Amino acid sequence: MTAWLLVAPVLLPVLVAALSFALSGSRITQQVLGVSVLTLTLTDAVVLLVLAQRDGPQAASMGGWPAPLGIALVADRLSALLLTVSLAVALAVLVFAIGQGNADFGESSPVAFHPAYLLLTAGVGMAFLAGDLFNLFVAFEMMLTASYVLLSLGVGSGRIRAGMTYTITSLTSSLLFLTAIALCYAATGTVNMADLGLRMTQAPDGVAATLSVLLLVVFGIKAAMVPLHFWLPDSYPTAPTPITAIFAALLTKVGVYAMVRTQTLIFPRDDVWLLLTIVAVLTLLVGVLGAIAQDDLNRLLSFVLVSHIGFMLFGLALFDEAGLTGTVLYTAHHIVVQAGLFLVSGIVVRLSGTASLASLTHRAPPPPVVAGLFMLPALALAGIPPTSGFVAKFVLLQAGGERSGWPVTVLIAAALLTSLLTLYAMTRVWRAVFSAGPDRPAPRREAGNVLMLAATVGIVGLGVAIAVGAGLLGEISEAAARDLVDPDGYREAVLGGGDG
């Protein structure tokens, strides 16, 4: 039974993507299939989360080969939590895309959009559940293939150029990843992550350190950490709103997840990692400074996205249970909040016809309901109490306060400054887009398509629910961090022979 639960988030979207492509003549059929399969896989993810929280990591060896030789799928508290939140957001964004219709995509969307979108969610599911490096690589390639199709949908050289930038960068990362996998296998004779964690202790220190940094670079590109972030602000803003939202919500977080999984399981540390601390500081500050320099709304949000990857690196750099608890909390919160902000941006641009903040100051403000949908995730991103962002940042800052040394002090200062500058950036957007004034037309009464609005309300509501349920989510995140610091349960589930 466990094996079917583990394979469903990967297999079902792939099968339905093929069926959706075959039935591309009926847009309604594609929409029903997409919503149905994401609802089913979301239910499956919730079941996996309940099982992982109650019984510990759930593992299965596929293909008739036992671990570490076979294809290992694993759901522990971390992967099951992020899978659940990701699928909930993916479902809401799909509903938004259905409401938005075909306007932003051109004539190609009825054929390509739904199959590519489902393939993307399959890749995300496989990345969270993969128990070995090679299948993690396959998951990233599935996401890359689907992402390029989604990014280049519609007409215009801008989208094609952005798609090429994204693809070339991702292929470079993939080549480095393949190199890292080959070197790991050469050094240890395995690519199973649970087995690698045991065998890497016997490798020379220089080899382990080199492989650790190489994998940090690989996943740092995918997570858009500074200085490997250059591709993101040039790629995401050109895509249609649902694509930008799902990319911002999920793809960078899959990179962060892979970084957390490999560094804690294969290359554990007993002290603060100075290199990652420096990278976290740079990511926080460079991203937010880039954001406040932007006039385009979507580029501003893209730079904010880069900046807040630094908060997730913050907790990982501490390499202790408290810091990792903050990373897990912040990752789950950020998936929801960033998707909500990009969906609100899509509604604003659809109503106003422009993403330029300078131009938006002269347009009629969106209706109050849209303003409210922007305010809640914006305040959460800035970390204003009692939002989910405040809870996650408080946990991170508390974890940092328990560690000594100037690198952590600098990291805490950078995190506080980034929060203030994020609030400033969100205030700029509010004044340009939503504030009333004597020289501006009266606010609009219509908020656009009902499905678009309902999907945005759902995602913003999920962010509020994370804040309200911070106690329960905190317990799960703390247990997930404890599993990361002491991965014996993960290894036992994988190498002890999960049911297949």
The confidence band for 108, taking pLDDT boundaries of 50, 70 and 90, is very low
Question: What does the DSSP assignment read for 66-96?
Answer: -TTTSEEEEE-HHHHHHHHHHHHHHHHHHHH
pLDDT in tens, 125-176: 999 999 899 999 999 999 988 888 887 776 566 666 766 777 788 888 889 9
The per-residue pLDDT for 300 is: 94
The per-residue pLDDT for 70 is: 78
CA–CA gap between residue 226 and residue 303 (Å, rounded) = 11
Q: Is the pLDDT of residue 107 over 60?
A: no
187 half-sphere exposure, CB direction, 13 A CA radius: 27
For the chain, domain boundaries: 2-487
pLDDT in tens, 440-459: 776 777 766 788 899 999 99
Q: Is the pLDDT of residue 264 over 80?
A: yes
Q: Is the pLDDT of residue 110 over 70?
A: no
Report in angstroms the alpha-carbon separations of 415 from 222, 325, 407. 22, 16, 12
CA–CA gap between residue 280 and residue 258 (Å, rounded) = 16
How much is the pTM? 0.92
CA–CA gap between residue 203 and residue 381 (Å, rounded) = 41
The confidence band for 1, taking pLDDT boundaries of 50, 70 and 90, is low
pLDDT in tens, 292-307: 999 889 999 999 999 9
The per-residue pLDDT for 390 is: 93
The per-residue pLDDT for 498 is: 43
pLDDT in tens, 55-70: 889 988 877 777 777 7
